Amino acid sequence: RAKPRVGTFRYMTNGLGLYSRPFIESFEETPMLVAVLTYMGYGILTIFGYLRDFLRDWKIERCHVAREREEQRDFVPLYQDFENFYTRNLYMRIRDSWNRPICSVPGAKVDLVERVSPDYNWTFDYTGKVVEGVINMGSYNYLGFAENTGYCADASAEVTMKYGVGVASTRQEMGNLDRHEEMEELVAKFLGVESAMAFGMGFATNSMNIPALTGKGCLILSDELNHASLVLGARLSGSTIRVFKHNNMQSLEKMLRDAIVHGQPRTHRPWKKILILVEGIYSMEGSIVRLPEVIALKKRYRAYLYLDEAHSIGALGPGGRGVVDYFGLDPRDVDVMMGTFTKSFGAAGGYIGGRKELLEYLRSHSHSAVYAASMSPPVVEQIIASMKCIMGEDGTTLGRDRVQQLAENTLYFRRRLTEMGFIIYGNNDSPVVPMMLYMPAKIGAFGREMLKRNIGVVVVGFPATPIIESRARFCISAAHTKDMLDTALSVISEVGDLLQVKYSRHKRLIYDQIQD
């Protein structure tokens, strides 16, 4: 059955026999006038940037940024030219929107340390004041486990008193605790796989393990919007890398077919292995991977699948077990299940789950396993306690209730933003909610105006996004009450009117048509 489309919304049913639920994502096209004005804005900023660089070269204006010494002027530049230009002349104008120091638990509300800049964001001075009770719409605290009271916090504190904070060794030497073993067994049980392994850093879980799985003569097919850790891991592996269009199964299948037919360049020998890299939830787009179709293609062409569930584990599925649970699929169909503990679990580090043979191989071949220090005991206990809570093994329904609350909050928040006329990206069930700002001047303005009204948000621009697709990114939490969300939505609407960022040409009409 053909995929019905309404306006610029993508709507997929189970017509292919792969989906057990509607799959709704929206990526509304940029209005032409907004695109033109955005390019003009960057053009004007670029012209003034070159003018200011000219003044700096002639010592008329002071240059604060790092630069080569006079005796190194004939050397190859240490910094990439455009990114250095961008940092000096565009990023510095809105640098106050990032790296804001907080002095509280990053829960539903946070306290911010107030700071001011005497030199247009080149440096900051702290006033000694604290901005209290800022509604936190930016942290990845999906299930609200970033807290300093309750079952998880108490368990971590108790373990700290018994084991201390650091281990001072690697797992292969004197740093393998019984709590590490228990955690990995629990992770495997939670994921529904044979075995699992934990690492102290989520980024390194990708960047250090992919090179252990593939190498020269292997092919990696990577989604164009994959996280930097996946990209780095693929590059470090020495494998051939080909990039397919975001969540586009036709593009992926064409690359798989070409890889099978033509083999390696020049020799045309078959690839040693083909590895598909995808994410569960894409953290800048809010989209969910079309996993049923990816698995079908993987089986058809006998490729391997590496699934990064950094943002989806805990945040999707009736049991909080991620995108595999969300689609009701068999975990054994995913060859390498990767995720992080930094988001839904309120801890730190990452994991890889899969077949026992795979994990035994990684224990001896992964740089992140062999050379990295062991995870801190209180962090391990936070993972164990929060995971048991989600699984219901703590004797309560708290974890299940939080998973359900997150789903309700996500649908409510996305629906209200759509009704207000904002362009938002992603899947209806994704707790990552990108709201498009486009113009460079509105990146900083939106963040500042929201903070004035006691709402903390994350604004994102180049190089994390394409240069004309700047956005605000909201992360919904189960810890958000309806009153908090209503307050945030009211402020977002007010600031949206002030800055004129309600760009959608469809508003409520499209949403109602889809729901019908």
Element (H, E) at 292: helix 291-301
State both tokens at 126.
């702290």
Q: Provide the terminal-to-terminal Cα distance of the chain, rounded to the nearest Å.
A: 18
Residue 283 falls in the annotated catalytic set: yes
SS3 for 218?
coil
Mean pLDDT over residues 315-330, rounded?
96
Residue 442 falls in the annotated catalytic set: no
pLDDT of 297 higher than 50: yes
State both tokens at 192.
């529904």
SS3 for 125?
strand
pLDDT value at residue 8: 42
Mean pLDDT across the chain: 91
Q: Taking the CB of residue 490, how many other CB atoms lie within 10 A of it?
A: 14
pLDDT value at residue 16: 53
The pLDDT tens digits of the residues spanning 95-107 come to: 999 999 999 999 9
Tell me how far apart the alpha carbons of residues 392 and 431 are, in angstroms, rounded to a whole number: 22
Quickly state the pLDDT bin for 468 (edges 50, 70, 90). confident
Instruction: Return the DSSP state at 28.
Output: P
Lowest mean pLDDT among 72-76, 160-164, 206-210, 393-397: 72-76
Q: Where are the beta strands (DSSP E) in 378-448?
A: 426-427, 432-438
State both tokens at 103.
């002095």
pLDDT value at residue 506: 74
Mean pLDDT over residues 254-264, rounded?
97
Taking CA atoms, 87 is separated from 49, 62, 445, 485, in Å, by 10, 15, 18, 34
**What percent of the chain clears pLDDT 90, i.e. is strictly above it?**
81
> Per the residue annotation, which of 227, 311, 442, 480 is the catalytic one?
311
> Per the residue annotation, which of 139, 195, 283, 504 is the catalytic one?
283
Tell me how far apart the alpha carbons of residues 152 and 382 are, in angstroms, rounded to a whole number: 6
Tell me how far apart the alpha carbons of residues 345 and 496 are, in angstroms, rounded to a whole number: 32
Instruction: Return the DSSP state at 373.
Output: B
Mean pLDDT over residues 328-357, rounded?
97
The pLDDT tens digits of the residues spanning 211-250 come to: 999 999 999 999 999 999 999 999 999 999 999 999 999 9
> Per the residue annotation, which of 343, 388, 442, 480 is the catalytic one?
343
Q: Are 268 and 262 in contact (CB under 8 A)?
A: yes
pLDDT value at residue 81: 63
Residue 343 falls in the annotated catalytic set: yes
Whether this model's pTM surpasses 0.75: yes
